Amino acid sequence: MDADLDATDRKLLLLLQENARRSVATLGREVNLSRTAVQARLARLERDGVVAGYTAIIRAPPVHGVSALVSLRFGIRPCNLVLDRIRSWPEILDGYSTAGPIDAVLVVRVLSASALSSLTDRLSAVSGVEAVETTLIMDRFKDRLSGNRACDP
């Protein structure tokens, strides 16, 4: 799909990642296109699935609790057979399918260490999960939006 994107498309995508609330007119000025041309490009990028949606990222006050990375190794393929079973679990903030000895990495948030233990027990009991490894997140040292140190996870 990236081969279908020209330099202007890539610049528009970077601008949207920085701030998706920019007006179409502002985007047009930044990429030297008319408002109509930018609207057409955005419509194509949305239709082609390159832009999957627009969202607000809320910086809520830190919630006390425990954050962790949970690495999973599966004993079955395809991996989606397992991932579909856990996709909607509310403790899972983010999930990544990976290549290598680990099949997936989850970013989880729970209220306590005992809740984390319960979560890893539940994950271990899911059919197809062969191994679960947990790494506690101590602190966040970079926030992708600002590039600055953020509040604790």
Does residue 98 lie in a domain region?
yes
pLDDT tens readout for residues 104-131: 999 999 988 999 999 999 999 999 999 9
Q: How far apart are CA 15 and CA 18, in angstroms?
A: 5
Question: Is the pLDDT at 149 greater than 60, yes or no?
Answer: no
151 inside domain: no
Confidence of residue 54 (pLDDT cuts 50, 70, 90): confident
Asked whether residue 37 falls in the same domain as residue 82, the answer is no
Higher-confidence residue of 143 and 149: namely 143
CATH number at residue 127: 3.30.70.920
* 12-40 CB burial, b ≥16 within 10 A, e <16: bbeebeeeeebebeebbeebebeeeebee
Residues 75 and 116 in one domain: yes
Mean pLDDT of 24-29: 94
- Is residue 38 located within the same domain as residue 86? no
Q: Is residue 130 part of a domain?
A: yes
Q: What is the pLDDT of residues 55-101, one digit of tens each?
A: 776 665 555 788 999 999 999 888 889 999 999 998 998 999 999 99
CB 15 within 8 A of CB 27: yes
% of the chain exceeding 90 in pLDDT = 55
Q: Are residues 75 and 129 in the same domain?
A: yes
113 is in which domain, residue-wise?
66-136
Report how many domains make up the chain: 2
Does the predicted model carry a pTM greater than 0.75? no
- Shared domain for 74 and 119, answered yes or no, is yes
